């Protein structure tokens, strides 16, 4: 039987504002452009998995105005039967994008913060030994999900984004694949210097496959004796929102398809390169075909 992927994660409505610079304390700034997109780190990663050709189930909680998020995932081929519809307003994000394509994100968790232990148990009951559990840090009960997923024999992949101090208390030693960016690596390791941060993470989590995405500097992979450094693609950066999510979805999909680590990392880097060259989160996640045809 083929192993399944369950992504238990956030679904957000993204309000995106193009700005000449990020708004400063006390400043009122007019944005030059505004658009609403489908987002949330969880939903973006499920979209990336599906567009990369994987079969994925998404679990999470939406509010009354979030039904279109569920419909969008469904139209991408994601199994949405584990998405719960609650009464708390849907999670949303206010995203400023500056002229260099960098973003600054403010999140209102809303429905994403209302996921309960009972709900995660009910969902995990339908998955088992050898299946994959993908998690980010944008819903409630993430620590319980890591523990329960591990107890049930699922392979846990964790992207601790957005990072906050409580992540250091999570049972990260139980995680099979940890995917972090520079800030997350520094916060988890308590080391500023990236080389020291990586070595510290290896010491802290020796059983965990470690992937560090470094934006323009590419990606570093470390697991026991395996080491890879893959350069980033050279592209015109329009909006970096969703680049990490795209990378994660394409990496996991490639691994599930049986590709080796190096090839999976290269495909994922190309996919996130394509993502940053377009505006938006889910709307800028490429298809598998676009990635195959892209020569970076
Ligand atoms: O990773 C990008 C995502 O972060 C956005 O879609 C936004 O919803 C925030 O969760």
Mean pLDDT score, 182-191: 97
Task: Please state the atom number of ligand 1 nearest to the C-alpha of residue 245.
Answer: 1
Q: Is 14 in the pocket of ligand 1 (CB under 6 A)?
A: yes
> Looking at residue 103, what is its pLDDT?
94
> Looking at residue 1, what is its pLDDT?
60
* Peptide bond connecting 162 to the previous residue in cis, omega within 30 degrees of 0: yes
Distance 225 CA to ligand 1 centre (A): 33
What proportion of the chain, given as a percentage, has pLDDT over 70? Answer: 100
Q: Are 78 and 34 in contact (CB under 8 A)?
A: no
Distance CA 189, CA 201 (A): 6
> Looking at residue 295, what is its pLDDT?
85
Q: Are 241 and 280 in contact (CB under 8 A)?
A: yes
Task: Please state the atom number of ligand 1 nearest to the C-alpha of residue 44.
Answer: 6
> Looking at residue 247, what is its pLDDT?
98
Terminal-to-terminal C-alpha distance of the chain: 36
The helix/strand count (H/E) of the chain reads as 9, 13
pLDDT at 281 over 70: yes
Query: Is 245 noted as a catalytic residue in this protein?
Result: yes
Mean pLDDT score, 181-209: 97
pLDDT digits 0-9 by tens, 258-278: 999 999 999 999 999 999 999
Residue 37 CA, chain-centre distance (Å), reads: 16
Distance 93 CA to ligand 1 centre (A): 7
Pocket test for ligand 1, best of 245, 246, 276, 284 (most atoms within 8 A of CB): 245
Mean pLDDT score, 12-36: 97
> Looking at residue 3, what is its pLDDT?
78
Pocket test for ligand 1, best of 10, 11, 14 (most atoms within 8 A of CB): 14
Q: Is 40 in the pocket of ligand 1 (CB under 6 A)?
A: yes
Q: Is 12 in the pocket of ligand 1 (CB under 6 A)?
A: yes
């Amino acid at each position: 039987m083929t192993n399944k992927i369950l992504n238990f994660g956030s679904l957000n409505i993204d309000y995106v504002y193009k700005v000449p610079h990020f708004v400063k304390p006390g400043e009122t700034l007019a944005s030059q452009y505004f658009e609403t997109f489908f987002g949330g780190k969880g939903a973006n990663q499920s979209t990336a998995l599906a567009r990369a050709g994987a079969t994925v189930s998404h679990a999470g909680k939406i509010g009354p105005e979030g039904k279109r998020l569920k419909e969008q995932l469904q139209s991408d081929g994601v199994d949405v039967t584990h998405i719960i519809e609650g009464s708390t307003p849907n999670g949303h994000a206010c995203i400023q994008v500056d002229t260099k394509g960098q973003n600054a994100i403010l999140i209102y968790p809303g429905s994403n913060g209302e996921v309960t232990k009972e709900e995660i148990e009910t969902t995990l009951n339908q998955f088992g030994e050898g299946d994959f559990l993908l998690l980010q840090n944008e819903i409630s009960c993430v620590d319980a999900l890591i523990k329960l997923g591990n107890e049930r024999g699922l392979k846990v992949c964790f992207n601790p984004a957005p990072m906050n101090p409580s992540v250091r208390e999570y049972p990260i030693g139980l995680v099979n694949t940890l995917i972090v960016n520079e800030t997350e690596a520094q916060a988890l390791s308590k080391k500023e210097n990236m080389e020291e941060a990586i070595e510290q993470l290896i010491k802290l989590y020796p059983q965990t496959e470690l992937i560090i995405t470094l934006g323009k500097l590419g990606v570093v992979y470390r697991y026991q004796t395996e080491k890879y450094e893959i350069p980033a693609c050279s592209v015109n950066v329009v909006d970096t929102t969703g680049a990490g999510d795209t990378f994660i979805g394409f990496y996991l999909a490639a691994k599930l398809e049986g590709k080796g680590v190096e090839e999976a990392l290269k495909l994922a880097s190309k996919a996130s390169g394509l993502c940053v060259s377009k505006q938006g989160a889910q709307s800028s996640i490429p298809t598998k075909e676009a990635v195959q045809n892209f020569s970076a």
